[in-house]
Amino acid sequence: MFSKACEYGIRAAVYIALQSLEGRRVSVNEIAEEIDSPIAFTAKILQQLSRNNVIHSVKGPTGGFEIERTDMETVKLNLIVKAIDGDQIYVGCGLGLKECDADKPCPLHDKFVDIRTDLRHMLESTSLYELATGLEVGLTYLKR
Amino acid sequence: MFSKACEYGIRAAVYIALQSLEGRRVSVNEIAEEIDSPIAFTAKILQQLSRNNVIHSVKGPTGGFEIERTDMETVKLNLIVKAIDGDQIYVGCGLGLKECDADKPCPLHDKFVDIRTDLRHMLESTSLYELATGLEVGLTYLKR
DNA sequence: TATTAATCGGACAAAAATGTCCTTTATTTA
DNA sequence: TAAATAAAGGACATTTTTGTCCGATTAATA
């Protein structure tokens, strides 16, 4: 569904959000350790998220990554997915046809649109804050 | 969503079904031409589908690929997807966690399960016959 | 001001997915 | 029986994704 990069990106962002709720700024090393992902690859992904203003980075000692409380509520998953995987999920025919739309639909068009619409709504309505608080309360888990 | 291989596989299977409805057996070359896919790669995929009894292959002159009328109705898309992409779509955590289930759910677990369930139902309930007749009647299109 | 700790960014490496080529095998038909 | 046709299958090539390494940059602090 999502690329590996995107999976790591979402997990990282949720972890950063969780720690930011506690006022902690976290390093790539800690993030990669906590979400069980390859360090250097994770660093690249965090750069992308930082450039796209999904998370905030601070260089130097005591630096690291954080997300402001307000951003946590504003930033929905679709922003992260877009920053890493691009439009992939939203655009294009399910069967890979170049010319496929409501006018000249592929055999799977309608059924595919339904599912993708649901997915889009889910991503557009789910905030980092929501996911982070679920973790905080112990309702959900991130490790392994 | 699907791999390229899977997209080609579904398109090919639908085209074969359509032609089989007219009593025509079709060659890899014709299939690749009609669904606009790389020939040799398509040949590999057709082999997989043949081995998994999704389609039937006949060697030698006048040979090619076909699908029996009864199979067309029996074979649902999930069979094709499984034959090519394996369990990928059905199994595993949306965020790539190894240990993620209803007991120890990842932050996205429930929302992800919903969407995947919809997708699974769609694939399990859509037959090649249904897709092929849509094409036959001119309601849908396969080219480009 | 030197040291240290952290991200940034570019180049490289490995693995997986996609795609090609060519030989072998099966089968029809002249 | 020989020639022609079509799938089967193995080896190889290319591209994309995933992952690593290392030097440059930034900033805190001793």
Q: How many CB atoms lie within 10 A of CB B91?
A: 8
The confidence score (pLDDT) of residue A143 equals 83
Q: Label residue A121 by pLDDT band (50, 70, 90).
A: very high
Q: Does any domain span residue B71?
A: yes
Closest by CA position to A41, among listed A66, A5, A72, A10: A5
**Nucleotides in chain C with any atom closer than 7 Å to protein CB:** 4-10, 17-22, 25-29
Domain that holds residue A14: 4-85+127-136
Q: Label residue B55 by pLDDT band (50, 70, 90).
A: very high
Q: Does any domain span residue B30?
A: yes
Q: Which amino acid residue lies closest to nucleotide D4, measuring CA to C1'?
A: B61
- B99-141 pLDDT tens trace: 999 999 999 999 999 999 999 999 999 999 999 999 999 999 9
Q: Which residue of B has its CA nearest to A89?
A: B1
**Distance from C-alpha of B63 to C-alpha of A33, rounded to nearest angstrom:** 56
Tell me the C-alpha to C-alpha distance, in Å, between residue A70 and each of A31, A46, A66, B9, B132: 21, 19, 12, 46, 51
Contact criterion met (CB below 8 Å) for A143 and A34? yes
Q: Does any domain span residue A20?
A: yes
The confidence score (pLDDT) of residue A131 equals 98
Q: What is the ipTM score, two decimals?
A: 0.93
The mean pLDDT value for A55-74 works out to 97
The confidence score (pLDDT) of residue B91 equals 92
Domain count across chain B: 1
Q: Does any domain span residue A107?
A: no
Tell me the C-alpha to C-alpha distance, in Å, between residue A39 and each of B54, B121, B124: 43, 38, 39
Q: Does any domain span residue A12?
A: yes
The alpha carbon of A126 is separated from its chain's Cα centroid by a whole number of angstroms, namely: 10
Q: Does any domain span residue A95?
A: no
**Distance from C-alpha of B55 to C-alpha of B3, rounded to nearest angstrom:** 19
- B33-43 pLDDT tens trace: 999 999 999 99
Q: Which residues have a Cβ under 8 Å from the Cβ of A73 and sit 6 or more positions away?
A: A127, A128, A129
Q: Quickly tell me which residue has 């112990």 as its tokens.
A: A138
B10 touches chain A (CB under 8 A): yes
The CATH number of whichever domain residue A61 belongs to comes to 1.10.10.10
Q: Does any domain span residue B121?
A: no
Q: Does any domain span residue A106?
A: no
Task: Assess whether B9 (CB) lies less than 7 A from strand D.
Answer: no
Nearest CB to A111: which of B96, B107, B122? B122
**Distance from C-alpha of B131 to C-alpha of A107, rounded to nearest angstrom:** 5
- Give me the CA B49–C1' D28 separation in Å, rounded: 62
Closest by CA position to B76, among listed B63, B67, B65: B67
Q: Label residue B143 by pLDDT band (50, 70, 90).
A: confident
Instruction: Identify residue A72 by its one-letter amino acid code.
Output: M
